[in-house]
Copies of this chain bind each other. A is one copy, B any other.
Amino acid sequence: MIETYLLEALCAFHDCGTLSAAAEYLHISQPALSRSMQKLEDILGVSLFERTKNRITLNETGKMAAAMAARILESQQDMITAIRNYDSSLHTVSAGYCTPGPMMEMPLHLTQIYPKMKVSSEMESEVDLLKGLRNGKYGFVILSHAYEDPDTVCIPCGSESLYFSLIPAHPAALFKDQGLTFSQMNGETFVMAGDIGVWKDLTEKMLPDSRFVLQDSLEALSAVINASTLPAFASDLTIRLFRSRENSSRIFIKILDPEATIHYHCVMLRKNTARYEKLISFLNERNES
């Protein structure tokens, strides 16, 4: 059999045209490359080059061999990445989310449940989530509603309620204890994170007359909010998660409309339930309590 470095040498020569150039490209000396080419011919029992005293070029057979070598090297490379990807997929819990809330919270649990696994999280539209679930990109997805399908299982996994985040001086801050409805704040301008998944559809629908100032960077967002007097959004989940490090004077007022609460559902392919057994138990236990 032919060692790979010989195939690489042949391809390099084919691409570079001269032994010297190819040797430089391969970071080896030119005589070493010359020997490799001789060795390759020797192994194949075939002459691959036209040699003059100070010039060497591929002959017909050599050109063919170089082309085939390139194909083999390519498939070797494909193999390597395929193996690495497969291994990676076996060692990462990959999930897709419809909103940032669970995407921030879930990995905290996942690293507990699967301490040896990497955790990969992505936010996507619902169609892409379901697509990714089917093609193996995601081990499970978190949707904003129940999803019934013979191929999948669907487990409720908590809810998230939207809050208005207001400066104390805001007139609506008086409703601190009663709560507010979307309609009461319709028309106001809000500061908002750029990527909030389905929340975006919801707010645009429920606050049709409002304008939204988007801030893509989540890190910068809280600074922007603190520096601004504009109303913003929060949720019970983000309030809980960030309570400690938020030192803002904002007050949070619950939104009373039922649409302001999302009941999340964890959806995975039925054939993968064994793989996520621990996660399922965890969610079920949490639901019972």
Interface residues of A (CB under 8 A from B): 1-5, 8, 44-47, 60-61, 64-65, 68-69, 71-73, 75-77, 79-80, 82-84, 86-87, 90
Closest-CB distance, A43 to chain B (whole angstroms)? 8
CB < 8 Å neighbour of A72 from B47, B60, B72, B84: B72
Q: A44-B83, A60-B86 are in contact. List 18 more A-B contacts (CB 8 A).
A: A1-B4, A1-B8, A1-B77, A2-B4, A2-B80, A4-B4, A46-B83, A46-B84, A46-B87, A60-B90, A61-B83, A61-B90, A64-B86, A68-B79, A69-B79, A71-B79, A72-B76, A75-B75
Q: Is the CB of B86 within 8 A of A61?
A: yes
A80 to B10, CA, bound (A): 14
Q: Chain B residue with minimal CB distance to A88?
A: B46
A77 to chain B: which residues have CB within 8 Å? Answer: 1
Complex Cα gap A3–B45 (Å): 21
Q: Contacts of A65 on B, CB cut-off 8 Å?
A: 79, 83
Report copies per complex. 2
Closest to A44 in B: B83
- Select one of B3, B68, B75, B79 contacting A3, CB under 8 A: B3
Q: Inside 8 A of A44's CB, which chain B residues have their CB?
A: 80, 83-84, 87
A-B contact pairs, 9 of them (CB 8 A): A1-B5, A1-B8, A4-B4, A46-B84, A47-B87, A65-B79, A68-B82, A72-B76, A75-B75
Instruction: Return the chain B residue nearest A61 by Cβ.
Output: B87
